[in-house]
Amino acid sequence: APAGQSTQMVIGATPETDFQILYLSRFFYRQYHLKRVYYSGYVPISNDNRLPAIGTPVPMIRENRLYQADWLMRFYHFKVEEIVDAENPLLDTQLDPKLSWALRNIHVFPVDINKADYLLIIRVPGIGIQSARKIVEARKFSRLNMHHLVKLGIAVNRAKYFVIASEAPAKDYQPMQIKQFILAEGNSKYKKNFSAQLNMF
């Protein structure tokens, strides 16, 4: 089809891991040149015993993580084996796949935003494709610092653990420390937003 074709995979009706699912998605993209693969958690719609029975519903977060991993494969040049593998076949439900990869590969960081290649910059948590392009363009005119990253709209609360700019170098945190910092910041932001919504009533 001129506009491209897509397919949908139902997740959780059978015991395939995220690694197997993403491996199949890669096959679809490469061999059939599909435009999109969609992921939907399995929900039994009747008591028909021919349908698979599951003990607990597929959590929405699993769908979300698969979409994030799919995005990394299609636009960020990640290989399936970098996101999940046979030894670690399930996506982390606490962390998005990009952050999870960064913490497992902490030796790659910190990245110098004034010197690093574009393909490395897009692997930094908190920096998207458009932001990475802005960084590459902006640094042609002056050395960038954290203030510049904020003005470029980058999620500095994440990126700050993985980059160095023109000022002080990044602090040498361990992966578990970074994980706890980011999770704590996320919980704090959620509580603040929830409290703000309650105050509206």
Contacts of residue 64, Cβ cutoff 8 Å, sequence gap at least 6: none
User: So what's the pLDDT on residue 194?
Assistant: 39
* d(C-alpha 8, C-alpha 6), whole Å: 7
What is the tens place of the pLDDT at every residue in 102-147? Answer: 999 999 999 999 999 999 999 999 999 999 999 999 999 999 999 9
What is the tens place of the pLDDT at every residue in 32-68? Answer: 999 999 999 998 777 778 877 776 788 999 999 999 9
For the record, the structure tokens of 138 come out as: 């902006």
Contacts of residue 153, Cβ cutoff 8 Å, sequence gap at least 6: 131, 134
Confidence of residue 81 (pLDDT cuts 50, 70, 90): very high
Confidence of residue 172 (pLDDT cuts 50, 70, 90): confident
User: Contact at 8 Å (CB) between 149 and 138?
Assistant: no
